[in-house]
Chains A and B, each alone.
Chain A
Amino acid sequence: MRLFISLLGVLSLSRIPGAPEGSFAAAQLRSWLQHFGPARLGDPAALGRLGAIYLAAHPGEQQPERLSRLILRDSAAPVESVLIERIAQDWSQHDVTQVEGWVLSRTEARICAALHLMGR
């Protein structure tokens, strides 16, 4: 349940006022996750654990730079709005994956992976 609430936080980003400005660089994703991740997404450790499982199944995404590019895709928009857009796009295109049975959008799973890499 806690995980679920955390993941739903990702979905509800658009409803949170004052979304921060950010760049598409990996460093800024990292910065955003550090500063806003816990509040917006929930428990980083629980999400990171899912991220580790995702990465084990997708070893090609282990490199932080590559993972950030896969998430943000060189967008110049603020990080948070990019994440919201990407997740919505994933659902619409059914770009989903399963981690421990949870149905996650691809971007959600990659955010979890980024949290795992940050926590190592």
Chain B
Amino acid sequence: MIEDLRQLPPDSTITADICLIGAGAAGITIAQELAGSALRVCMVEGGGAQYEYQESQQLYAGNSVGVPVALEAGRLRFLGGTTNHWGGRCAPLDEQDFRQRDWIPHSGWPIDRAELDRYYVRARQVAGFSSPWLSDPDTLSYLNVTLPAFNQQWLQPFLWHFTPVMKDAPAWHWATAYGPLLQQSSNIRTLLHANFAAFTTSADRTRVRSLTVRSMNGVSARIDAAKFVVCCGGIENARLLLLAAEANSGGFGNNNDLVGRFFMQHPRGPAALIVSPGLMARTQEQFNILLGRDGLVVEVGLTLAPQLQQQERLLNCSGVLRYQGDPDSGVAVAQDIWRSLQSGKWPPDIGDKVGRVAGDFGDVLRGLEHRIAAGHSMDLEGSQGIPSRSAILLLDLEQAPNPDSRITLAADRDALGLRRVQANWQLGEMERRTAARFASVVGAEFARLGIGRCRLEPWLQDDQLPMGTALAETYHYIGTTRMADDPSAGVTDRNCAVHGMQNLFVAGSSVFPTAGQANPTLTIVALAVRLADHLKN
């Protein structure tokens, strides 16, 4: 059932086997895995069922002292958490991402990709995919796409699958998908407007005894549970552990001053302009967001080959093409006409427009055919489908783990009296070197294959230019409660248990020791499914 703390009697006590703190991708995944089991689960969520600024979201405000971090915009504090602005882009991490790479300090997971493979299969179902994914070659074959013969020692294709869009929802959100289950579940009690206030612990501070939650209007409750799981996202997970450690004079995984360190994202930004003397029609059919039958939506991009990463001591990195569609092309004009007609308006200058469409009739027909075959409207692909002569190579970069890139507690306090968060996000030169090398390899391969010519962006030509202005956040907050077998090297162990605590766990991307280049949600979900199994046992 879903309840609101504000409606509960003051100072209620809830007894549970497992308390989940946070109802985002990780928390809801664990909850739905435990639904129907004999375990009594209480999931607390600071926000309500919808976005509310005063009542909840404002608690995410904080200070950013390094490369800017949009602490309020990047995270959402209500049921479903940050999945409420999730784009649905899913891909597993690469095998190499899990390895200790001697050229990347602090790299290496205590588990390998094989350990996660079966959980990735389950994670795909949790994330809304109704059928198993085909392999990448089979997916391309299914989409009737043949890629150019890149040198596989340098570049490899990379596919992202998009979660199918749900009916009656603008996108696939955890709250939309699992709200009914949470509402109907007899063993999952979801409590909204229940903000973290404090943990109480055993005398030796190795065991959490209870969690106190509080609403903004002052209603409190205590949750006594056998196990607690912090699942509040990559920044808030660290904040809660830091707040708890401060309130309890240590512990909570921070005996080695590691909580909040190694804060990473996937910096994203333009790396190069790709230009072609003619239309890039063939390339646009290969490297794009591609639509198949049965709701299949896949984006095809490129990634740095693992061999090259190793040989040249680089990070992982991927890139996709964002086409700069010609607004005067027949396809663009046809889309414009279509949009006008859809909104019940007769397009202005219809004569000229029809003339343009007729002039590019071959392209228009081909585009239309493709969309009809895929079962989608003409408008779905936006400028990605408009014939282009140029494109931007847009990067997603792995970051090297850096202990000085960190989340700490700020001096000022939020409306509940808890210290706000301070983010000091840092970018390193290994990131720039990786981006420059990737863009250069793409440039060489595109030239060799006659696809187009490549000009690197200024920040990759001049090491003195700041990276922070060229690269943007992806809101993938990673690494702040990193996983390691050795307590001196990480906050959590391979089972996501906090080192030194008997019954406290962390779920979410904060446990990733390294970030790879792939979007983190699928891995967050896979680890959450794995943790749910562990908790059940």
A residues at B contact (CB < 8 Å): 1, 4-5, 7-8, 11, 88, 91-92, 94, 96, 98, 100-103, 105
Contact = CB atoms under 8 A, between A and B. Distances in A.
A102 B460 contact: no
Contacts of B460: 101
Contacts of B154: 94
Given A101-B456, A102-B454, A103-B455, A96 B444 contact: yes
Contacts of A8: 277, 453
B448 A7 contact: no
Contacts of B105: none
Contacts of B277: 1, 4-5, 8
B448 A92 contact: yes
A100 B448 CA distance: 19
Contacts of B455: 100-103
B450 interface: yes
B280 to A, nearest CB: 13
A101 to B, nearest CB: 4
Contacts of B12: none
B474 to A, nearest CB: 24
B461 interface: yes
B441 interface: yes
Interface in B413-471: 439-441, 443-445, 447-448, 450, 452-458, 460-461
B276 to A, nearest CB: 8
Given A11-B447, A103-B444, A4 B457 contact: no
Nearest to A95: B444
B197 interface: no
Contacts of B456: 98, 101-103
B467 to A, nearest CB: 16
B453 A4 contact: yes
A91 B453 contact: no
Interface in B383-429: none
- Closest CB pairs A-B (n = 4): A103-B443, A91-B448, A101-B456, A101-B455
B453 A98 contact: no
A5 B452 CA distance: 10
17 contacts: A1-B277, A4-B277, A4-B452, A4-B453, A92-B448, A94-B441, A94-B444, A98-B440, A98-B461, A100-B455, A101-B456, A102-B453, A102-B456, A103-B443, A103-B454, A103-B456, A105-B447
Nearest to A1: B275
A96 B453 contact: no
B450 A96 contact: no
Contact of B448 (A4, A88, A98): A88
Interface in B103-154: 151, 154
A101 B444 contact: no
Contact of A4 (B275, B440, B441, B450): B275
Contacts of B443: 96, 103
Nearest to B462: A101
A91 B443 CA distance: 10
A106 to B, nearest CB: 11
Nearest to B455: A101
A101 B461 contact: yes
Contact of A103 (B447, B450, B457, B458): B447
Contacts of A103: 272, 439-440, 443-444, 447, 453-456
Contacts of B461: 98, 100-101
Candidate in B439, B441, B454, B458 with the most chain A CB atoms within 10 angstroms: B454
Contacts of B276: 4
A96 B457 contact: no
B83 to A, nearest CB: 38
A103 B271 CA distance: 12
Nearest to A8: B277
Contact of A91 (B272, B275, B444): B444
A25 to B, nearest CB: 28
Given A101-B458, A103-B444, A103-B453, 11 more contacts: A1-B275, A4-B452, A91-B444, A91-B447, A94-B154, A94-B441, A94-B444, A98-B456, A102-B454, A105-B444, A105-B447
